[in-house]
């Protein structure tokens, strides 16, 4: 019985590395993508120690043509791809009143949203019926957060994109899972100097994410407590949401807000 090949973007650290280790097992082909050769090598070494067959590609997910080449090469070697996890993501505080943040905004949206679309488009031709695509969104995409407009907008777009993709691929028998992490203890959240409720270890988050993907669930918020909080936030009346978060907006400074969880 063959073991599904798995593709993971943003596999050099954080949730991506934890997912690579969650899927690593003897004989499983794993394609690890990221922008840092050194970080990918570290992940690869850990996954190989568990018996996985590792391939690495240093690539920026904003480069669709490069992703197309990587996908074709991997598929030529291992045929069909069972699971694609679009995890690559970046975060940085942004403020609309700062002209210098225009480029930062474009980079965040380009990586988090357009990069996910590029990833799915590149690997879709090689995913058979019964295959799975998972995208890493964020609870930050539930409502707009002051000081994090680019990140919130990109993750809100990711949630909508994955929902559209899920509906488009139903007839092909491909399952799409949208994952919305809360605070996960990764290098991205290490710079946060504020309370992070229900902070979760990345290996535990990865186990829960893999379980959801394996069960072909369409939606997961991890940890579950953030799902409850997210539900409340999504349904708060605008006047009440504005009253609560306007206090945060008054304290926001460019570069001081990091809400990334990828």
Q: Which residues are identified as catalytic?
A: 151
φ, ψ (nearest 5 deg) of residue 29:
-75, 130
* Longest CA–CA separation in the chain, Å: 58
Q: Can you read off the two tokens belonging to residue 142?
A: 């539930």
Q: Rounded to whole angstroms, how far apart are CA atoms 138 and 163?
A: 14
Q: Are 134 and 225 in contact (CB under 8 A)?
A: no
Q: Rounded to whole angstroms, how far apart are CA atoms 128 and 21?
A: 24
Q: Can you read off the two tokens belonging to residue 191?
A: 């710079």
Instruction: Encode 190-248 in three state secondary structure.
Output: CCCCCCCCCCECHHHHHHHHHHHHHCCCCEEEECHHHHHHHHHHHHCCHHHHHHHHHHH
φ, ψ (nearest 5 deg) of residue 246:
-65, -30
Cis peptide before 100 (omega within 30 of 0): no
């Amino acid at each position: 019985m063959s073991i599904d090949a798995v593709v993971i973007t943003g596999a050099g650290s954080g949730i991506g590395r934890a997912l690579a280790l969650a899927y690593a097992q003897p004989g499983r082909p794993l394609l690890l993508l990221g922008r840092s050769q050194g970080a990918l090598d570290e992940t690869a070494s850990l996954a190989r120690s568990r018996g996985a067959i590792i391939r690495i590609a240093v690539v920026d997910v904003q480069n669709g043509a490069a992703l197309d080449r990587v996908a074709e090469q991997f598929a030529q070697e291992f045929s069909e791809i069972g699971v694609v996890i679009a995890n690559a993501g970046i975060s940085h505080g942004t403020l609309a009143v700062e002209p210098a943040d225009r480029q930062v905004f474009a980079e965040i949206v380009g990586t988090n949203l357009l990069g996910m679309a590029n990833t799915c488009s590149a690997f879709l031709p090689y995913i058979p019926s019964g295959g799975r695509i998972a995208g890493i969104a964020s609870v930050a995409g539930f409502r707009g957060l002051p000081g994090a407009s680019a990140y919130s907008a990109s993750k809100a777009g990711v949630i909508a994109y994955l929902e559209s993709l899920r509906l488009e691929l139903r007839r092909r028998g491909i399952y799409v899972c949208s994952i919305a992490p809360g605070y996960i203890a990764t290098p991205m959240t290490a710079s946060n100097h504020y309370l992070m409720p229900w902070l979760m270890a990345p290996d535990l988050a990865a186990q829960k994410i893999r379980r959801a993907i394996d069960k072909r669930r369409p939606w997961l918020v991890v940890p579950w407590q953030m799902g409850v909080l997210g539900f409340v936030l999504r349904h708060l009346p605008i006047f009440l949401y504005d009253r609560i978060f306007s206090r945060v907006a008054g304290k926001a400074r460019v570069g001081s807000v990091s809400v990334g969880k990828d």
